[in-house]
Structure 1
Amino acid sequence: SHLVLPAWRLPVAQAISLMHPQDGRPVFAFPWEGVTLVGTTDVDHGEDMRLEAAITPDEVAYLMAALEFQFPQLGLTLDDIIATYAGVRPVIDSGKADPSKEGRDHVVLLEDGLLTVTGGKLTTFRLIALDALKHAAPLLPGWHDALQPAPIFGFTQPLPDHLCSEFGIDAQRRQRLQGRYGKHAVALLAAAQPAELELIAGTETHWAELRWTARTEAVMHLEDLLLRRTRLALQLRAGGVDILPRIRAICQPELGWSDQRWDAEQTAYLALWSRHYDLPPRAQIPDWRAAPTAAST
């Protein structure tokens, strides 16, 4: 699980790693898309796997204790937390009691035509996919493609200087747009309406990215737009509820949704955010300042 805080409340120029005072596990904080990300916890997940994971009260206290230990001068509180999120990592059980001690390796099994992939991490998804294809190749007659890692975008021409000058795109924003959208960055700029190349406050996302995403990236639900295609749901308080009217003005025509459809999507999205990305009820969160540390035990 992770906490998301405003960059101005936890200003870090680069990734910071520390050992948690309670159990010696590594905890990190790093700048991400205009906010600061803090994580992670590593506990067994016993909930229904059909439901989206969410941070627990104990995990909130655990991460806040790490921040209090490392940054006592900041006086961070629960009010500083913009959002939370959690994920479930598949682990190959080697019998170790501590899940943090388990490896991140993946295993590919091919049995009677059934290909099973387990373990691994999302950050290595392309290597896992390549390994899976290599196992499946003997069952795919006529497969002749070379199964080698390849660039995602291939060679991409840089955004032209005159376009960056015309649209007021500085070097940092230029690098981000090109890295995220590749050869489509020029088309994104061309699709932008007036004022849509401004940044959404508190993030590194341009308003124009919402239009482009709604138009080209197969958005099926509002949560797709705000949680997965962009990450605004994690970067703005209350899931960005204050800017939903402007998001609607930009994206509803691109998506072709009726007013009734948009209203239903917005209600479902805000309910999802409240259940899985907000803090748990505060009364359930233990007082992390009273938790014993390694130095005090």
Structure 2
Amino acid sequence: MNTDSIYLGQKATLTASGCAGTVTWSTGQTAASIQVSPTTQTFYSAFCTSAFGCVGVKDSLKVLVRKAIVPKASPTTICAGDSSVLTVAGCTGGTLTWNNGGVGTRIVVKPNVTTQYSVTCTQGTLGTSQPVLVTVNVNATPTVPVLTANPQNVKTGESVTLAATGCSGTITWAHGKTGASITETLTKTTVFAAFCTSTQGCKSPTASVTAGVDSPIPIVNATPNELCEGQSLTLKVSGCSATGTYEWRNASDQLVNSTSTYTLTVTGNQTLKVVCKDSAGTSQPRIVSLKVAN
């Protein structure tokens, strides 16, 4: 007895050969070839009747009905580097084998480009089905935007323009703003970050740029700056931020004072420098020159 298999809903063509008379099927049909659409496993038989009315021996075959397997991808479209879950229904009691080596009704894939996956179902006497395909579409990850700050350094309270190039989609800044160009007022040196979102919703890696705030150069009151040998002088400095500190250094770059007021005795021509140190960093030095009068 021969065996054939079809998917549920399909038709099987049954053919009888070697009969010079009339073929009669168990379905009641009389023809050498008939089509049937069984919904479950079904046995069919046929016999041949000659022109003289003689009936031959019956022959039979079995048609197995396989339910079609239905693979699905969720989501069907992803960004490169993301995952999609592939599931299959319809392989009751069987084994599902995927072309990427996966086994089972559920596998997770992470393709970097659009990829087509196939799966087969092996069920006992039904054998192995034809492969069924499912596609995962992959959208590319945008390139990392290039960020610039103009000017790169400003004074406290001044503005800087941040720009992002190389993005054909939408730029989103880490502090919530969007746009390829934004303006920010700075009170301290700040690192700004942004990423690009493509029209397909895929996000690039994050880029960053630093916009600096220069510490204010101190203002020194050094009057008079020409004194007699051994005379004392009190230097007063201002202009640093409220949280800042001062550093006085001599010509040898030695730290000689750390307050806003510095009293010294003149023992010869001297050059001093003072800087402001605050959250923005260290300012440019203010140079103070003291001379001994002749």
Shorter chain as denominator, the TM-score bin is under 0.3
Higher normalized contact order (CA 8 Å, seq sep 6+, divided by chain length): 1
Q: Which has more strand, going by share of residues?
A: 2
Q: Which has more helix, going by share of residues?
A: 1
TM-score, normalised by the number of residues in structure 1:
0.17
